[in-house]
Amino acid sequence: MIGMFRRDYTWARAAMVERLRGQGISNATVLAAMNEIAREEFVDEALRMRVYEDCSLPIGHGQTLSQPYIVARMTELVLAASIPVKRVLEIGTGSGYQAAILSRCVSSVFTVERIGAFLDTAKQRHRTLGLGNIRYMHRDGFKGWPSQAPFDGILVTAAPPTLPDELKAQLAVGGRLIVPVGQQGEAQRLTVITRTEKEFRSQYFDAVSFVPMLPGEMS
């Protein structure tokens, strides 16, 4: 009968979506995804009460799930390409929340994580929620996922010190790479790299604070 005592977060989630609108998120697909995906499923029981607040939350292994605004903002930025965005690569699966949001906005999500334990939990959560269009890879995300490239969009959810060239190379023409670039301990800028026929263009958006992107893999 545990189900009887489960809290219903539907109202809190709707309030979060209204707040996102007020913060300037306007893409209807993104707002619908944020309203559909149960964010509380992606954190420990003890943190659930705070999951719809505008804050980041610990997810274990010293990592954090971004605040709702940043998840929505990055999703909106990756979707705002000049080509149809169908296949998106995420670096840094973590809790699996960002991948779940992406899975409601594009046809295929490819997500790469260096910590194996995160992948197992994320897969389980996605299965429970019935999200079937996500593929997983346990590896160092600096390498991307070359056999599945090119991607219409790439979203990096950990901060590399400089722009990762191998990820740029896996971007389709017209696609966008969204990445918080910054040295550890310094302010990071949400950077959008757009690939054109001839070059890569950079634009800079919100100041953000992501955990560092680290090389190598671990279980």
Catalytic residues: 66
91 in contact with ligand SAH (CB under 6 A): yes
64 in contact with ligand SAH (CB under 6 A): yes
68 in contact with ligand SAH (CB under 6 A): no
Q: What is the C-alpha separation between 90 and 167, in angstroms, rounded? A: 11
Total residues belonging to the chain: 219
Please pick, from the candidates 141, 144, 180, 182, the single residue that binds ligand SAH as defined by CB under 6 A.
141
| Strand pairing category for 87-91 and 108-113 | parallel
Nearest distance, CB of residue 143 and ligand SAH, angstroms:
8
Residue with tokens 């998120």: 25
Nearest distance, CB of residue 78 and ligand SAH, angstroms:
13
Element (H, E) at 10: helix 10-22
Please pick, from the candidates 17, 63, 103, 180, the single residue that binds ligand SAH as defined by CB under 6 A.
63
Residue 188 tokens read as 């990071």
Residue with tokens 């670039």: 181
Element (H, E) at 103: helix 97-103
Using alpha carbons, select from 22, 40, 21 the residue that is nearest to residue 30: 21
Contact set for ligand SAH, span 32-61 (CB under 6 A)? 59
Please pick, from the candidates 9, 69, 97, 145, the single residue that binds ligand SAH as defined by CB under 6 A.
97
Would you tell me which residues interact with ligand SAH (CB under 6 A)?
59, 63-65, 91-92, 94-95, 97-98, 112-115, 118, 140-142, 157-158, 211, 213-215
